[in-house]
Structure 1
Amino acid sequence: MARQLDEQMSGRFAVGRRLRVLDVGMGRGVQALRLARAGHRVTGVERDAETVAAARDALAREPEGIRERMRVLEGDGRDTGVHFLPGSFDVVLCHGMLLYVEEPDPLLAGLARMLAPGGLLSLLVGNGDALAMRPGLRGEWSAALAAFDGGETGPAALPPSRTPADGETAPARPRGGVRADRLATLTAKLAGIGAPLRAWYGVRVFTDAAGAPAGPGVAPDGDLAALLAAEERAGRTDPYRAVAALLHLCGVRG
């Protein structure tokens, strides 16, 4: 995710430019802190009070210059219009939050309004076109068959105890599993809110069902560098990226 995001940011903004970044559903602030360390001004929004406290604790341990560039707010993420003026940010991140929002359209529209012209919107979503992949690769045939008819919601999109963005404990799932989105549907929605899709990647192509019983993402041979290289290559290569557990979509405000 970090490599993909950096690729899109460097392709859109001048080298050395200090960007205004909004991270909605920031979790413990892994991406937000990384971008603040890189010199950007970052606002993180997270609704869970315990997670907000952990993010603020992590920020407090950073050097003064980084602390001055980042702020952490407790909020739902769907009320951005209350806190910020339209066009306030150059980059808006929403990594994983759409998995837990039953009606994503108002949130997407609000995120797009926060972008300045030419701004980058980065989304991480469940892949609704590949819900049967994980149970199928694990030999869970009944679950795989059910996932084919599961629409854009299903428990196959994520393992039960990990978040997509930073490997922390996930919030409770909605009844019936997390949401997932189809690429064609989100492409149309992004065009409709004025932030058309410019690039997309697969995330967790190979690792989502790998490593059992040690857990997803564990390299059997212990070669983490090779695992990351294989995932990065697959995440930008057809047909592999289309069957990833998650999709990273990047839209640009017109």
Structure 2
Amino acid sequence: MTTPASPLSVHGDRHFDGLADKFAASLYGGVRGELRLALLDRLLPEMLDLRGQPLLDVGGGLGQLAAWFAGRGHPVTLAEPSAEMLERAREALLEASVEREVTFLQAPLQALPERAAGPWSLIACHAVLEWLGDPRGALATLAGLLAPGGQLSLMVFNRDALRFSNVVKGNLEKALDDRLEGKGLRRRLTPVSPLTHAQLMAWSEELGLEVRSVAGVRVFHDYLRKPPESDADRQRLFELEWRYCRVEPHWRLGRYLLYTLVRPGASPSSTEESPR
């Protein structure tokens, strides 16, 4: 029997040792990767109050988000459970000349209360919860790491969009049976815990987190019959994505849902020191 390239962890989470190349190609390759990064480049300054605060980047993967924040003056702690992914992130940040702003921490999300307790005024956790066996527990952990007034930039894989995509592809029985989760035991990159907006709203309320803003990332691209081929068509698609990413009802079918969640309380001082 062949050992899976990326077996589930003891927590039921999927890590990506042995899959860094496939991960990079699948999540960041081609137009869909360009759109994801370009939309985040515009959305993050609008959805977050950014003042150069220290950032905890949870499940930082290949380092794209860490590079974005470090390049804008934020000291970053990049936490990632996969040694292979962490090394790739280190290489990418070195190439971007921002590695001096980044501390690398090999640790799963569940270890962060001990390894990076904070409290943190700014946390980013993008495209992580959907790979975890207990996403609600993970959100509770993140909430516990936030300082009063602290912001959590959370991006999750949208279960409703996954269902819609399966219908568009003709997988009607799969959609009817609600068999949308991946198993995490082979090389296919289907999330093990895709999430709905309703779940995030309920969990945030239970945990005492305020939802300040929400947007959909890739609300059109993933339903196209064929990807745009010319530069002009790619630019038109980006303008459509940007125009409707925060407009009802379109944002609700974004492949990813992007939230700013805030822990109520006094906002940390702009002159705060790095968290312990």
> What TM-score, normalized to structure 1?
0.79
Go from structure 1 to structure 2 and tell me whether the alpha carbon gap of 1:32 and 1:222 turns closer, same or farther (over 3 Å shift). Answer: same
- The residue correspondences of 1:125-204 to structure 2 (distance < 5 A) are 125-147=156-178, 150=179, 153-154=180-181, 173=189, 178-204=192-218
- Residue 56 (str. 1) matches residue 90 (str. 2): yes
| Equivalent residue number for residue 239 of structure 2 | 229
- The residue correspondences of 1:17-32 to structure 2 (distance < 5 A) are 17-32=51-66
- Residue 36 (str. 1) matches residue 37 (str. 2): no
Q: Which has the higher contact order (CA 8 A, sep 6+)?
A: 2
Residue type at the aligned position of 1:100: W
Unaligned runs of 5+ in 1: 161-169, 213-217
- 1:20 Cα shift? 1.0
Residue type at the aligned position of 1:245: R
- Residue 75 (str. 1) matches residue 107 (str. 2): yes
Match of 1:244 among 249, 254, 269: 254
Go from structure 1 to structure 2 and tell me whether the alpha carbon gap of 1:5 and 1:202 turns closer, same or farther (over 3 Å shift). Answer: same
1:86 touches 1:113 (CA, 8 Å); kept in 2?
A: no
Go from structure 1 to structure 2 and tell me whether the alpha carbon gap of 1:28 and 1:211 turns closer, same or farther (over 3 Å shift). Answer: farther
- 1:191 Cα shift? 2.2
Residue type at the aligned position of 2:251: R
1:22 touches 1:91 (CA, 8 Å); kept in 2?
A: yes
- C-alpha distance in structure 1 between counterparts of 2:203 and 2:211, whole Å: 9
Worse-superposed segment, 117-126 or 222-231 = 222-231
- C-alpha distance in structure 2 between counterparts of 1:183 and 1:41, whole Å: 31
Give aligned-pair identity as a percent.
31
Give a deviation string over 1:168-227, Cα, whole Å, max 9, x none: xx97657xx531222122112112223221111111211113254xxxxx3244332222
- 1:34 Cα shift? 1.1
Worse-superposed segment, 38-47 or 136-145 = 136-145
- 1:86 Cα shift? 4.0
Residue type at the aligned position of 2:133: E
SS at match of 1:187: helix
2:90 touches 2:99 (CA, 8 Å); kept in 1?
A: no
Residue type at the aligned position of 2:253: V
> What TM-score, normalized to structure 2?
0.73
1:45 touches 1:73 (CA, 8 Å); kept in 2?
A: yes
Unaligned runs of 5+ in 2: 1-39, 265-276
Instruction: Tell me which protein shows more helix as a share of its residues.
Output: 2
